[in-house]
Amino acid sequence: MKTRFFLMSVLAATSLVQAEINVAKIYADHMVLQQGKQVPIYGTCDGKGKVTVEFNGQSVEAKVKNGKWKAVLAPMTINAEGQALTIKQGKDELVLQDVMVGEVWVASGQSNMLWRLNQTGDRNSLQEAETPLFRFYHSEPQVHTAPRAYDAKLQKILKDKEMYQGSWSCNTPQTRQRMSAVGYYFGRELQKHLGNVPVAVVHASLGGSEMMAWMPNSVLNKKYKECTTKRWLDSKYMSDWVRGRARQNIGKDLNAPHPYKPGYLFETGIEPWLDFPVAGVIWYQGESDAEIQDEEQNAQLLTDMIKGWRKEFNHKDMPFLMVELPRINDKSKLRAYWPEFRRVQRTVATNLPAVSSLTTIDLGSTNSDVHPPRKLEVGSRLAALAAVTVYGKDVPYSGPVVDAAQPKGNTLVLSYKFANGLKTTNGQAPQGFEISANGKDYHPATASIEGETVVLSSDKVEKPTHARYGWYTFMTPNLVNAAGLPAVPYAPQAK
């Protein structure tokens, strides 16, 4: 396992007896360590003797080389009792308090993941009592991409790669205010599903960020070298919106650092955690990349990004749970290809192991606001998805999914999975279906529910062979199952 000692520029000194021994900032009071995996603990020291790390009944020695040390704790079982993690060198001692062993998840993406809990208006969640078994590490962006030129202070922050500042926190009314709302709801609800198991969410995201900003440099250098030069803004992988906003920030200096520069956000927000074992990732992103109408390109980028993260985390099939783009009542070019991007997300989820996409077609804005307000449902659905696909729990986690399309005379019959109690929310006919006789020319369809199937017809299509559902930027869906979960948008891949 490769230790990334660049973190030593910022060190934690919690419960410090003397300042001669330090630990990387990702380790601190109230943290949760991932159960079932080896856990490296590393830092720096002034002395030359061996460093000893004691935790959870283990005592591990680490050699010191050039002032750096790393100890590796053996895999541990879940432990919901907060314990001290002690680091010693001779008479010097550093103690991290209230450390637990449980499940650790990373939350990342763009502004809908960054959207804070105190922006939701959810006063109940903001003020609820502390829940000791849920912890989080919120990485606060120090630079955003408002439409203005960066001043010298912001340029220095970016150049020094001090993009994020954060710390470990218990879940209290005071600490949760600025936490990612989706990350918060996910972690809180997952902890409820798992019972007496500590759960932690490590959050790092940024508004407007495209996939390339989160691509590991190892992938960029191998497959996307044109994105590593000063001409990165001219790349075909940059949407017009991303390109325009970045140029507003950096002006004519193409060598100036920028959060959207390929690899920058991964390097500053994710790379510090690569030696910190995690259970999986929740991901809410796509609004920026969806402006580019190239499904093949977007699918390749998303695939490469997920594979890159897995390789860098040394976790071959690391669970990766994505939030599909919701609806939005915006007819601009910027949002025109959201249906295609939803299909990209589902296609990648189908083709890669341990990757899932979550439907939120019913939770988006009824206006042009790119930040839909209903973050509680998003986080709760992600938690249920993780509970079933990662932890083997038995809870409702998916809306109806088309399993087959069968022509029958002048109708097309769609069979569904997860369709127990198939119904509409308003008692009316299902809305949002289209059918075609050639897979190209689609017409609105009349739909009726028959058991766990939906029968489609149209007086404009004599012998339908193809169907689409939810192929709109904005719609008001009404087809759900008994759990009230919405039907998943559907469209066969165009040939």
Question: What would the pLDDT profile of 156-168 be if each residue is shown by its tens digit?
Answer: 999 999 999 999 9
The pLDDT-based confidence of 8 (bands split at 50, 70, 90) is very low
Written as one string, the DSSP assignment of 23-47 is EETT--TT-EEETTS-EEEEEEESS
**CATH H-level, domain 101-389: superfamily:** SGNH hydrolase (3.40.50.1110)
What local confidence, expressed as pLDDT, does residue 156 receive?
97
The pLDDT-based confidence of 494 (bands split at 50, 70, 90) is low
Average pLDDT over residues 487-493: 93
Q: Please give the single-letter amino acid code of residue 2.
A: K
Instruction: Provide the β-strand partners of residue 203.
Output: 107, 138
CATH 2.60.40.10 segments of the chain: 5-100
pTM score: 0.95
What local confidence, expressed as pLDDT, does residue 15 receive?
41
What local confidence, expressed as pLDDT, does residue 254 receive?
86
In which element (H, E) is residue 58 found? strand 58-62
What local confidence, expressed as pLDDT, does residue 493 receive?
76
What local confidence, expressed as pLDDT, does residue 20 receive?
85
How large a percentage of the chain has pLDDT more than 70? 96
Better-scored residue on pLDDT, 465 or 13: 465
Average pLDDT over residues 479-494: 93
Return mean pLDDT, the chain: 94
CATH 3.40.50.1110 segments of the chain: 101-389
Nearest to 376 by CA among 105, 115, 109: 115
What local confidence, expressed as pLDDT, does residue 48 receive?
81
What local confidence, expressed as pLDDT, does residue 495 receive?
54
CA distance 356 to 313: 19
Average pLDDT over residues 77-90: 97
Per DSSP, the three-state class of 276 is coil
5-100 CATH, one of 1.10.10.60, 2.40.50.1070, 2.60.40.10, 3.40.50.261: 2.60.40.10
